[in-house]
């Protein structure tokens, strides 16, 4: 397999040029596509030195974690739950390691990036699925354990973005299909999250970064023309690039603000209702359908480009089988209504179109119909 390198650094101008006031610090140096074991040989060229530690979970160990551990003669970290307690336990074992490698999806990366930030090591991520844009984010979504033994979401913590991301297309293309759909869905959500952020800028004078907007829209543009061939290796490579660009948008402002608006609040509500049967990006894309309806009805600053509007968003959800996954989850109409009227109350500090209009039942019912949620 040929090695291809993709860099986002040249897309990030110094903060003075952008004029936004955000730091524009972002440590991701390189994104490499190729055979993972071949690319590991190149780590010293990128100033990644041993001793190495490899984070994985039960599933990703089988996907390629085992091979990575063996090739690098690495110390092993088996991640069970994405909690602060577990991250702290692993941190105590990192001690003399110089490079941490995360092999996996959300939970493994979230734990590893918190540990690497605290231990000040260099950091490599090998995603096993192209499922969400947090891969290259500098924030870590960790949970606490309640007295009843349940995981309670505590928001994102300061962490570190990877220095290098390695995508092996054979691996990410073989990920479960719902995780691939989830990745496409998570990129679509930028269309509502950016407009929510602009509401914050225009109504409350919130700081805003035009470069972050540009990166998020470049992510959207990388996949907006992908159709039902979304599972092909070429489409998945574009998806991987989009996930990196979207992560960089959040990275340079050190916040999930550019990539997580009202649609993610609704998505989280649906994820919890379906006990995570609906994966992150699919749930959030459904949130985007509902919130694109609200923006289209109420926000004069909503996109004028046809390809960013509700009809086009819906068409993508159809082509990428996101609506099929939604249908399989069999969610009653009432749950969509409740997600619209209630979900934003859990994040009062992040101003979105839901916070602006605080939809009551009647408007929520109207939005469910308008976005044709019953399929
Ligand atoms: Zn997301
Ligand atoms: Zn900026």
Give a yes or no: residue 194 inside a domain: yes
User: From ligand 1's centre to the CA of 265, what distance in Å?
Assistant: 10
Give distance in angstroms: CA of 17 to centre of ligand 1. 28
The predicted pLDDT at position 150 comes to 79
One domain, residues 161 and 183: no
- The packing angle between helices 177-188 and 233-253, to 10°, is 50
Q: What is the pLDDT of residues 131-165, one digit of tens each?
A: 999 898 888 888 888 888 777 777 778 888 999 99
Is there a domain that residue 242 lies in? Answer: no
Same domain, 57 and 189: no
CA of 187 to the centre of ligand 1 (A): 8
Residue 185 C-alpha from the chain's centroid: 10
Q: How far apart are CA 246 and CA 186, in angstroms?
A: 9
* 189 shares a domain with 137: no
| 75 and 168 co-located in one domain | yes
Number of structural domains found in the chain = 2
188 shares its domain with 135 = no
Indicate which CATH number applies to the domain containing 20: 3.40.50.1970
| 216 domain residue, yes or no | no
Alpha helices in 41-189 (DSSP H): 58-60, 66-72, 84-94, 106-119, 169-173, 177-188
Give dist(CA 63, CA 66) in Å, integer.
8
Query: Which range marks the domain in which residue 201 is found?
Result: 177-209+258-370
Closest ligand to residue 207's CA: 2
Same-domain check for residues 184 and 89: no
65 CA to centre of ligand 2 in angstroms: 36
Ligand 1 centroid vs 259 CA: distance in angstroms? 7
Whole-number Å distance, alpha carbon 248 to ligand 1 midpoint, is 13
125 Cα: distance to centroid of ligand 2 (angstroms): 25
What is the number of the ligand closest to the CA of 185? 1
Together in a domain, 200 and 144: no
CA dist 91 and 114 (Å) reads 9
Instruction: Please say which residue of 126, 158, 173 terminates a domain.
Output: 173
Judge if 196 and 127 occupy the same domain: no
Distance 280 CA to ligand 1 centre (A): 6
In a domain, 218, yes or no: no
Phi, psi of 133, deg, nearest 5? -90, 10
Ligand 2 center from residue 257 Cα (angstroms):
13
DSSP 152-182: EEEEEEE----SEEEE-HHHHHTS-HHHHHH
Q: Which ligand is nearest to the CA of 210?
A: 2
SS3 6: strand
| Residue 317 in domain | yes
Q: Where residue 303 sits, what CATH number does that domain have? A: 1.20.1090.10
33 CA → ligand 1 middle, Å: 22
Helix axes 333-342, 262-273, angle to 10 degrees: 130
Classify residue 234: in a domain, yes or no.
Answer: no
Q: Determine, yes or no, domain membership for 231.
A: no
192 and 261 Cβ atoms separated by less than 8 Å: yes
Say whether both 203 and 134 belong to one domain: no
Residue at 360 is within a domain? yes
Instruction: With beta carbons less than 8 A apart as the criterion, state whether 124 and 172 touch.
Output: no
Ligand (nearest to CA of 13): 2
d(CA 295, CA 302): 6
Distance 243 CA to ligand 2 centre (A): 19
Residues of the chain with pLDDT under 50: none
- Å from CA of 133 to ligand 1 middle: 6
Strand, helix or coil for residue 30: strand
Are residues 47 and 145 located together in one domain of the fold?
Answer: yes
Ligand 2 centre distance from Cα of residue 32 (Å) = 25
- CA of 260 relative to ligand 2 center, distance in Å: 17
Domain boundary among 173, 194, 223: 173
CA of 179 to the centre of ligand 2 (A): 31
The pTM of the full predicted model, rounded to 2 decimals, is 0.94
The residue out of 129, 146, 173 marking a domain boundary is 173
> In angstroms, rounded to a whole number, what is the distance separating the alpha carbons of residues 83 and 111?
7
- Tokens for 355, please give them: 């916070």
**Strand arrangement, sheet containing 30-33:** 4-6, 30-33, 164-167, 122-127, 99-104, 52-56, 75-78
Q: What's residue 209's pLDDT?
A: 98
Residues 168 and 274 in one domain: no
Are residues 188 and 153 part of one domain? no
């Amino acid at each position: 397999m040929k090695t291809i390198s993709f860099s986002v650094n040249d897309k990030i101008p110094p903060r003075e040029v952008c004029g936004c006031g955000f730091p524009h610090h972002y440590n991701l140096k390189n994104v490499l596509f190729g055979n993972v074991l071949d690319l590991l040989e190149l780590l010293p060229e990128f100033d990644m030195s041993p001793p190495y530690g490899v984070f994985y979970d039960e599933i990703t160990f089988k996907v390629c974690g085992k091979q990575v551990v063996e090739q690098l003669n690495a110390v092993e970290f088996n991640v069970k739950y994405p909690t602060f307690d577990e991250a702290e336990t692993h941190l105590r074992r990192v001690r003399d390691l110089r490079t941490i490698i995360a092999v996996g999806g959300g939970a493994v990366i979230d734990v590893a990036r918190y540990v690497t930030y605290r231990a000040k090591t260099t950091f490599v991520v090998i995603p096993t699925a192209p499922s969400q844009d947090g891969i290259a984010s500098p924030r870590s979504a960790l949970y606490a354990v309640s007295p009843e033994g349940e995981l309670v979401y505590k928001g994102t913590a300061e962490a570190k973005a990877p220095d290098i991301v390695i995508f092996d297309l054979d691996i990410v293309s073989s990920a479960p299909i719902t995780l691939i759909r989830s990745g496409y869905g998570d990129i679509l959500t930028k269309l509502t999250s950016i407009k929510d952020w602009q509401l914050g800028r225009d109504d409350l004078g919130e700081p805003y970064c035009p470069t972050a907007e540009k990166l998020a829209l470049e992510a959207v543009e990388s996949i907006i023309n992908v159709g039902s061939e979304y599972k092909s290796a070429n489409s998945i490579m574009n998806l991987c690039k989009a996930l990196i660009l979207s992560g960089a948008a959040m990275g340079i402002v050190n916040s999930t603000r550019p990539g997580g608006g009202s649609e993610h609040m609704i998505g989280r509500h649906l994820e919890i209702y379906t006990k995570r049967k609906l994966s992150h990006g699919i749930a959030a894309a459904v949130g985007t359908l509902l919130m694109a309806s609200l923006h289209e009805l109420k926000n004069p600053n909503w996109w004028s480009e046809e390809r960013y509007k509700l009809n086009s968003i819906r068409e993508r959800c159809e082509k990428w089988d996101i609506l099929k996954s939604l249908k399989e989850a069999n969610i009653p109409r009432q749950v969509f209504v409740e997600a619209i009227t209630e979900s934003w109350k859990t994040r009062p500090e992040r101003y979105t179109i839901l916070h602006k209009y605080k939809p009551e039942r009647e408007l929520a019912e109207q939005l469910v119909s308008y976005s044709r949620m019953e399929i």
